[in-house]
Amino acid sequence: MERKPVGGKIRNIERSRKKFLLAVGKILKTKGHAGLKINEVAKVAGVDKKMIYSYFGGLDGLIDEYIAVKDFWSNVKAEQSTGAITDGGKAFATKAFLYQFDYLENNKEFQKLLLWRLSEERKSLRKLTQDQEARGELLFNHFTDPYFGKNAEKFRAISAVIASGLYYLNMYAEVNGSVFSGIDLKTEKGRNLIKEAVGFIIDKSFKDL
Protein backbone atom coordinates (compact mmCIF):
# COMPACT_ATOMS: atom_id res chain seq x y z
CA MET A 1 0.00 0.00 0.00
CA GLU A 2 1.35 3.39 -0.96
CA ARG A 3 2.02 5.60 2.02
CA LYS A 4 0.74 9.18 2.11
CA PRO A 5 3.65 11.65 1.97
CA VAL A 6 4.61 13.11 5.35
CA GLY A 7 4.17 16.65 4.03
CA GLY A 8 0.62 15.90 2.93
CA LYS A 9 -0.23 14.37 6.29
CA ILE A 10 1.07 17.44 8.11
CA ARG A 11 -0.96 19.73 5.86
CA ASN A 12 -4.09 17.67 6.56
CA ILE A 13 -3.49 17.95 10.30
CA GLU A 14 -3.01 21.70 10.05
CA ARG A 15 -6.20 22.06 7.99
CA SER A 16 -8.15 20.06 10.55
CA ARG A 17 -6.71 22.06 13.43
CA LYS A 18 -7.66 25.28 11.66
CA LYS A 19 -11.20 24.00 11.09
CA PHE A 20 -11.58 23.27 14.80
CA LEU A 21 -10.29 26.72 15.77
CA LEU A 22 -12.61 28.41 13.26
CA ALA A 23 -15.50 26.33 14.59
CA VAL A 24 -14.86 27.61 18.13
CA GLY A 25 -15.07 31.19 16.83
CA LYS A 26 -18.28 30.51 14.91
CA ILE A 27 -19.97 28.95 17.91
CA LEU A 28 -18.85 31.76 20.21
CA LYS A 29 -20.40 34.34 17.88
CA THR A 30 -23.75 32.55 17.62
CA LYS A 31 -24.20 30.71 20.92
CA GLY A 32 -21.61 32.04 23.32
CA HIS A 33 -19.30 29.90 25.43
CA ALA A 34 -22.21 27.76 26.64
CA GLY A 35 -22.46 26.35 23.12
CA LEU A 36 -18.90 25.05 23.12
CA LYS A 37 -19.64 21.34 23.42
CA ILE A 38 -17.36 18.78 21.85
CA ASN A 39 -20.02 17.31 19.57
CA GLU A 40 -21.09 20.76 18.41
CA VAL A 41 -17.53 21.84 17.68
CA ALA A 42 -16.87 18.67 15.69
CA LYS A 43 -20.13 19.13 13.76
CA VAL A 44 -19.37 22.73 12.82
CA ALA A 45 -15.77 21.85 11.92
CA GLY A 46 -16.81 18.82 9.90
CA VAL A 47 -14.05 16.75 11.50
CA ASP A 48 -14.28 13.65 13.73
CA LYS A 49 -14.42 14.70 17.38
CA LYS A 50 -11.71 12.15 18.20
CA MET A 51 -9.27 14.48 16.48
CA ILE A 52 -9.92 17.13 19.15
CA TYR A 53 -8.29 14.79 21.64
CA SER A 54 -5.49 13.89 19.23
CA TYR A 55 -4.62 17.47 18.30
CA PHE A 56 -5.48 19.43 21.45
CA GLY A 57 -5.75 16.88 24.27
CA GLY A 58 -9.47 17.59 24.61
CA LEU A 59 -11.98 20.41 24.37
CA ASP A 60 -10.31 22.53 27.04
CA GLY A 61 -7.03 22.40 25.15
CA LEU A 62 -8.76 23.46 21.93
CA ILE A 63 -10.51 26.38 23.61
CA ASP A 64 -7.32 27.51 25.34
CA GLU A 65 -5.41 27.45 22.05
CA TYR A 66 -8.17 29.43 20.34
CA ILE A 67 -7.92 32.13 22.99
CA ALA A 68 -4.11 32.07 22.88
CA VAL A 69 -3.83 32.57 19.11
CA LYS A 70 -6.30 35.46 18.95
CA ASP A 71 -4.59 38.84 19.27
CA PHE A 72 -7.30 41.27 20.36
CA TRP A 73 -4.94 43.91 21.69
CA SER A 74 -2.74 44.48 18.63
CA ASN A 75 -3.68 48.16 18.40
CA VAL A 76 -2.14 48.96 21.79
CA LYS A 77 1.54 48.89 20.87
CA ALA A 78 3.93 51.72 21.52
CA GLU A 79 5.86 50.91 18.38
CA GLN A 80 2.77 51.49 16.24
CA SER A 81 2.86 55.21 16.94
CA THR A 82 4.24 57.17 14.01
CA GLY A 83 6.66 60.05 14.40
CA ALA A 84 7.93 61.67 17.57
CA ILE A 85 5.53 61.90 20.50
CA THR A 86 5.26 65.57 21.44
CA ASP A 87 1.89 65.58 23.22
CA GLY A 88 2.54 63.08 26.01
CA GLY A 89 0.71 60.38 24.08
CA LYS A 90 -2.66 62.16 23.92
CA ALA A 91 -3.29 61.54 20.22
CA PHE A 92 -2.07 57.95 20.42
CA ALA A 93 -4.18 57.17 23.50
CA THR A 94 -7.27 58.63 21.86
CA LYS A 95 -6.66 56.64 18.69
CA ALA A 96 -6.17 53.41 20.65
CA PHE A 97 -9.40 53.83 22.64
CA LEU A 98 -11.48 54.68 19.58
CA TYR A 99 -10.00 51.86 17.53
CA GLN A 100 -10.86 49.39 20.28
CA PHE A 101 -14.39 50.81 20.46
CA ASP A 102 -14.99 50.12 16.76
CA TYR A 103 -13.13 46.81 16.84
CA LEU A 104 -15.32 45.47 19.62
CA GLU A 105 -18.51 46.49 17.81
CA ASN A 106 -17.49 44.45 14.76
CA ASN A 107 -15.98 41.45 16.53
CA LYS A 108 -18.70 39.31 18.09
CA GLU A 109 -16.19 36.66 19.16
CA PHE A 110 -14.35 39.25 21.24
CA GLN A 111 -17.61 40.38 22.83
CA LYS A 112 -18.43 36.81 23.84
CA LEU A 113 -14.94 36.28 25.27
CA LEU A 114 -15.22 39.42 27.38
CA LEU A 115 -18.59 38.26 28.72
CA TRP A 116 -17.12 34.83 29.39
CA ARG A 117 -14.20 36.44 31.21
CA LEU A 118 -16.65 38.08 33.61
CA SER A 119 -18.52 34.88 34.37
CA GLU A 120 -15.90 32.15 34.70
CA GLU A 121 -12.40 31.62 36.05
CA ARG A 122 -10.16 30.10 33.39
CA LYS A 123 -6.39 30.19 32.95
CA SER A 124 -6.50 31.18 29.28
CA LEU A 125 -9.07 33.89 29.99
CA ARG A 126 -6.82 35.22 32.74
CA LYS A 127 -4.02 35.33 30.18
CA LEU A 128 -6.30 37.43 27.96
CA THR A 129 -6.49 39.92 30.82
CA GLN A 130 -2.75 39.77 31.44
CA ASP A 131 -2.06 40.45 27.75
CA GLN A 132 -4.42 43.43 27.92
CA GLU A 133 -2.57 44.80 30.94
CA ALA A 134 0.82 44.26 29.31
CA ARG A 135 -0.23 46.20 26.19
CA GLY A 136 -1.64 48.97 28.35
CA GLU A 137 1.64 49.22 30.25
CA LEU A 138 3.39 50.04 26.98
CA LEU A 139 1.24 53.12 26.59
CA PHE A 140 1.52 54.16 30.23
CA ASN A 141 5.24 53.54 30.68
CA HIS A 142 6.37 55.02 27.37
CA PHE A 143 4.13 58.07 27.19
CA THR A 144 1.57 59.03 29.79
CA ASP A 145 3.38 58.22 33.06
CA PRO A 146 6.36 60.47 32.21
CA TYR A 147 3.99 63.18 30.99
CA PHE A 148 1.69 63.22 34.04
CA GLY A 149 4.36 62.59 36.66
CA LYS A 150 2.74 62.62 40.12
CA ASN A 151 -0.70 62.51 38.48
CA ALA A 152 0.10 59.42 36.43
CA GLU A 153 -2.12 57.14 38.52
CA LYS A 154 -5.02 59.55 38.11
CA PHE A 155 -4.78 59.25 34.34
CA ARG A 156 -4.55 55.46 34.65
CA ALA A 157 -7.82 55.55 36.61
CA ILE A 158 -9.43 57.73 33.93
CA SER A 159 -8.21 55.28 31.28
CA ALA A 160 -9.79 52.40 33.20
CA VAL A 161 -13.15 54.20 33.28
CA ILE A 162 -12.97 54.96 29.55
CA ALA A 163 -11.95 51.44 28.51
CA SER A 164 -14.51 49.65 30.67
CA GLY A 165 -17.22 52.09 29.60
CA LEU A 166 -16.52 51.49 25.93
CA TYR A 167 -16.57 47.72 26.44
CA TYR A 168 -19.85 47.89 28.32
CA LEU A 169 -21.59 50.18 25.83
CA ASN A 170 -20.75 47.90 22.92
CA MET A 171 -21.93 44.76 24.69
CA TYR A 172 -25.02 46.49 26.05
CA ALA A 173 -25.98 47.58 22.53
CA GLU A 174 -25.53 44.04 21.28
CA VAL A 175 -27.44 42.23 24.02
CA ASN A 176 -30.00 44.51 25.71
CA GLY A 177 -30.97 47.16 23.20
CA SER A 178 -29.20 50.01 21.51
CA VAL A 179 -30.28 53.07 23.55
CA PHE A 180 -28.23 54.14 26.57
CA SER A 181 -28.69 57.57 28.22
CA GLY A 182 -30.91 58.45 25.30
CA ILE A 183 -28.13 57.76 22.77
CA ASP A 184 -28.72 55.13 20.11
CA LEU A 185 -25.46 53.22 19.96
CA LYS A 186 -26.47 51.45 16.77
CA THR A 187 -26.43 54.69 14.78
CA GLU A 188 -23.42 56.52 13.38
CA LYS A 189 -24.56 59.68 15.15
CA GLY A 190 -24.77 57.92 18.51
CA ARG A 191 -21.36 56.26 18.20
CA ASN A 192 -19.79 59.54 17.10
CA LEU A 193 -21.19 61.22 20.22
CA ILE A 194 -19.48 58.60 22.36
CA LYS A 195 -16.22 59.10 20.46
CA GLU A 196 -16.44 62.86 20.90
CA ALA A 197 -16.98 62.32 24.64
CA VAL A 198 -13.86 60.14 24.82
CA GLY A 199 -11.84 62.81 23.04
CA PHE A 200 -13.20 65.47 25.39
CA ILE A 201 -12.32 63.46 28.51
CA ILE A 202 -8.79 62.74 27.33
CA ASP A 203 -8.25 66.33 26.22
CA LYS A 204 -9.43 67.67 29.61
CA SER A 205 -7.26 65.14 31.41
CA PHE A 206 -4.15 66.27 29.58
CA LYS A 207 -4.95 69.90 30.20
CA ASP A 208 -6.02 69.70 33.86
CA LEU A 209 -3.72 67.01 35.26
CA–CA gap between residue 90 and residue 139 (Å, rounded) = 10
Most confident of 4-18, 79-93, 102-116: 102-116
Fold adopted by 6-69: Arc Repressor Mutant, subunit A (1.10.10)
Beta carbons of 16 and 55 less than 8 angstroms apart: yes
The mean pLDDT of the chain is 87
Q: CATH 1.10.10.60 residue ranges in the chain?
A: 6-69
DSSP state of 79: G
What does the pLDDT average to over 92-97? 89
Give the residue from 176, 173, 175 showing the smallest Cα distance to 186: 173
DSSP state of 35: G
Q: What is the pLDDT of residue 112?
A: 87
Q: What is the pLDDT of residue 136?
A: 85
CA–CA gap between residue 121 and residue 117 (Å, rounded) = 7
What does the pLDDT average to over 20-33? 90
Percent of the chain with pLDDT over 70: 89
Q: What is the pLDDT of residue 4?
A: 54
Q: What is the pLDDT of residue 37?
A: 93
Q: Each residue of 113-130: pLDDT tens digit? A: 888 888 888 888 888 888
Q: Each residue of 53-72: pLDDT tens digit? A: 999 999 989 988 888 787 66
173-182 — which CB contacts under 8 Å span 24+ positions?
Answer: 173/105, 174/108, 174/111
Percent of the chain with pLDDT over 90: 49
